[in-house]
Structure 1
Amino acid sequence: MSAFDSFPLGRPAFVTDILDRAAHLRGHDDKLIALVGNPASRAYVVHRDSLVVKRENGASRALLSIDEALKFGANPGTIFLGLRDGAAVFGMGISQTAAEKLINREDVAVTELRGMAMQGIVPSGELSAIAMAKSLVTWHQRHGYCANCGTRTAMKEGGWKRDCPNCKAEHFPRTDPVVIMLVTSGENCLLGRQKQFPTGMYSCLAGFVEAAETIEDAVRREIREESGIDCTDVGYYMTQPWPYPSSLMIGCTARALNEDIVVDRTELEDARWFTRDEARLMLTRQHPEGLAGPHPFAIAHHLVGRWVHGEGA
């Protein structure tokens, strides 16, 4: 199965939610404890940007039994993600030391999530639940102490909250909004590249929404700052959860008011206009100069693909 089959137009990674989040169970510790002990319960084990997977019969399985996860060294604290076909699914972390012990084993691997998703090793239908696990595990690892008084906090609500026993402050996982946009001018679209991109790859411009800023203003500001292009007619396409570490990519379109590019070299290595035909060849990896567009894994691919097919801005 190719990446285009795994992520057809309009369905990038992390958007197919297979879980019933069952938020009504989060406040019932006794029920959650019972679910952890249920043989039918399963878990995703996350280590930084990687996932612990079981190798069997030439394939990799990300959804582990609780016993498997614990035997591999996962931390016993579990985050309740929800229910899948009536069975509980949890997110678990694993220490660096425990992860290193798995490196040379043949029955298990600690593999970078993005690469596995792009290659179709992990079914696309599981990626939303994995993103949830990754975001929450990372949040707990980074927010173990109260931002108000510095006291060690405690996990509550099935992992969806941390409470401070000293000042009684409540802490909740956050999601950072990011605008990502396709700017067009007639039959041309604006794409840029960052230094860390693979050679020849161009993608949509993007940036974080700032405090007290609307999505529309963020789109216009980011495009102007990075490329010197002023925009109007900002429109919304779709969103994509992005667990790096916990963002929400807000896919937008906009129409350019000028075409003279002034690249902000602190943000981009290059930015340029591409014709609709060029963009089509880049998405299918057939551009004569070896240029490429974003992978179908990412929402940027779908923004460009939608425009290539005559939709959107």
Structure 2
Amino acid sequence: MAKLRGPHLSTPLTLLGSDRDALQRSAPEAAAPGEDARYLVTRSGAVTLREDGDGTLHAVLEEADPRDGTQQPLVLLGRRDGFRVLAAEIAEPSPELDAPGRDLRDLRRVADLLADSDADLAAAAVAMGAWHRSMRHCPQCGSALEPEMAGWVLRCREDGTEQFPRTDPAVIMAVRDGQDRLLLARNAHFPSGFHSVLAGFVEPGESLENAVAREVAEEVGVTVEEVEYVGSQPWPFPRSLMLGYRAWAPGAGELALQEEEIAEARWFSREELAAALEAEEIALPGAASMGRALIDDWFGRSAQR
């Protein structure tokens, strides 16, 4: 098994800015509307944000429940400035929310612009919104589910089965060869020119380190000899947890692509990557992603400006 070192990398959506107040989720009124509540509005992966003068985005906490009474349950995200912060997923924006200086923004596109203090609130709100949208009926008997634990548990009305928010762990790795070149690939589903580091979901009964080695071997035919864990990132689009690694394959030979997954792949030196970006031959992941953070970590600075 590959060796494991310690974490180093910081990425968007990872900083804790609020008290999650998890011990209060069992209280009967923990997610109930009230004067001591503020509401973070989400809609299909978007969250209500406002922009300040330097371009930083901040979560907008509403004073009134924005739902129309027929939509998803409120979810207790935590506590801030003495208020309970509740996630409120809506189906359609209301005129009251369409105010100057704020709007619903796709979190995936703007996560790198989000204020550190709001990152955890926004990520949790979007993730819980996606879970509640997808989990409407008991998977055992098909009966309706009702929320408990301030929206963090759904219980079947018929058989009492409990459902919990799903998080899918995925490894994402910056693989280097013996010349310290970085492996970048274009997934078969990516647009032409778009390259990133390799990634894949962790399988049942598999360690994270073995998942790194397996995915690299399967997708490009390279044997990883050592890995180093560098950090994690919630990626609630809809429910992943990205676990980042540096990986070394000093004996790597010719690449053998898994063609149904990987359309193209190659090793890049720093000079080659800079030239390919300058010539617009390739594009890299956005600044919000763990993939981009891993590339920049290897490059020594932002690889694409």
TM-score by length of 2: 0.83
**Which blocks of at least 5 consecutive residues in structure 2 are unaligned?**
1-7
Match of 1:38? 35
Taking structure 1 as reference, are residues 10 and 227 closer, same or farther at Cα in structure 2, changes over 3 Å only?
same
1:260-286 Cα deviation digits (max 9, x unpaired): 11222221221110013334x37xx95
Q: CA deviation at 1:180?
A: 0.3
Q: Which one has more relative contact order, counting CA pairs under 8 Å at least 6 apart?
A: 2
Q: Choose from 141, 160, 163 the match for 2:155.
A: 163
Q: CA deviation at 1:10?
A: 3.2
Whole-Å separation in 2 of the counterparts to 1:23 and 1:80: 8
Identity %: 31
Task: Name the structure where helix makes up a greater proportion of residues.
Answer: 1
Whole-Å separation in 2 of the counterparts to 1:298 and 1:20: 24
Letter in 2 for 1:91: A
Taking structure 1 as reference, are residues 301 and 309 closer, same or farther at Cα in structure 2, changes over 3 Å only?
same
TM-score by length of 1: 0.81
Q: How many residues align?
A: 290
Taking structure 1 as reference, are residues 210 and 16 closer, same or farther at Cα in structure 2, changes over 3 Å only?
same
Taking structure 1 as reference, are residues 238 and 14 closer, same or farther at Cα in structure 2, changes over 3 Å only?
same
Match of 1:4? none
Q: Secondary structure at the match of 1:253?
A: strand
Q: CA deviation at 1:117?
A: 2.9
Question: Does structure 2 conserve the Cα–Cα contact (< 8 Å) formed by 1:228 and 1:261?
Answer: yes
Question: Does structure 2 conserve the Cα–Cα contact (< 8 Å) formed by 1:181 and 1:253?
Answer: yes
Q: Choose from 237, 240, 248 the match for 1:247.
A: 240
Question: Does structure 2 conserve the Cα–Cα contact (< 8 Å) formed by 1:54 and 1:61?
Answer: yes
Q: CA deviation at 1:243?
A: 0.3
Taking structure 1 as reference, are residues 142 and 76 closer, same or farther at Cα in structure 2, changes over 3 Å only?
closer
1:83 equivalent to 2:76? Answer no
Question: Does structure 1 conserve the Cα–Cα contact (< 8 Å) formed by 2:77 and 2:85?
Answer: yes
Q: Secondary structure at the match of 2:265?
A: strand
Match of 1:233? 226
**Which blocks of at least 5 consecutive residues in structure 1 are unaligned?**
1-8
Letter in 1 for 2:254: D
1:141-195 Cα deviation digits (max 9, x unpaired): 2112111222111100001101112212111112100000111112211111225
Q: Secondary structure at the match of 1:29?
A: coil
Letter in 1 for 2:86: F
Q: CA deviation at 1:292?
A: 3.5
1:29 equivalent to 2:28? Answer yes
Q: Secondary structure at the match of 2:129?
A: helix
Whole-Å separation in 1 of the counterparts to 2:195 and 2:213: 20
Letter in 1 for 2:299: V
Query: Could you say what the CA RMSD is over the residues aligned between the two structures, in angstroms?
Result: 3.1
Whole-Å separation in 1 of the counterparts to 2:70 and 2:15: 26
